[in-house]
Amino acid sequence: MRYIAAPWREPYVRNVEQTKGCIFCRARRLKDDKRGYVLYRGAHSFILLNKFPYLPGHLMVAPYKHIASFEQSRKELSDEISDLLKMGLDILKKNYRPHGFNLGMNLGKSAGAGIADHFHFHLIPRWTGDSNFMPIVGRTRVVIEDLDTTYARLCPLFRKKTRKR
Ligand SMILES: [Zn+2]
């Protein structure tokens, strides 16, 4: 069996310490959603692609406000985040057909948070046998997508949801 690592994570691993500012605040302010890989904007929170995904379709949901504390967030914010997570699950389930999901938060640096001051959820589709690497085995078809492809694929689906709301 041959393994290939997720090569798009390399610049992240190398540059994470040098990146200045908060990626969520920057994405929120960008006028161009495509540049920030923003898929959906709600009233209090938004959905964006992780620029350094472990697997294709790795989404993040974050509040517009730069806040660290989820437990102290207002109910309208946490309710909306829950709605956006459900929306993300629904769209990924139908279009990527993963075998499962990881859904959660890293709160605090010691818990593995890259950006600890601006809380955010990760939503990661999982396939049997992926385990952070993508096994390339004879008959197994592995979908490897770059970020622009994922964005182009998901963007219209979230747009449709925007119209329905
Ligand atoms: Zn922020």
CATH of the domain at 122: 3.30.428.10
Query: Is the model's pLDDT at 24 over the cut of 80?
Result: yes
* Contact predicate 56/46, CB 8 Å: no
Q: Which whole number is the average pLDDT over 21-27?
A: 94
Number of domains forming the structure of the chain: 1
pTM of the model: 0.81
* Contact predicate 162/40, CB 8 Å: yes
How far does the centroid of ligand 1 lie from the alpha carbon of residue 62, in Å? Answer: 9
Catalytic residues: 120
Q: Which amino acid is at 155?
A: C
DSSP collapsed to 3 states, 53-111 = CCCCCCEEEEECCCCCCCCCCCHHHHHHHHHHHHHHHHHHHHHHCCCEEEEECCCCHHH
How far does the centroid of ligand 1 lie from the alpha carbon of residue 93, in Å? Answer: 28
> Which residues sit opposite 125 in a β-bridge?
101
Q: Where in the sequence is the domain holding 109, given as residue range(s)?
A: 2-164
Query: Is the model's pLDDT at 138 over the cut of 50?
Result: no
How far does the centroid of ligand 1 lie from the alpha carbon of residue 22, in Å? Answer: 5
Q: Which whole number is the average pLDDT over 69-83?
A: 97
> Which tops the pLDDT comparison, 21 or 23?
23
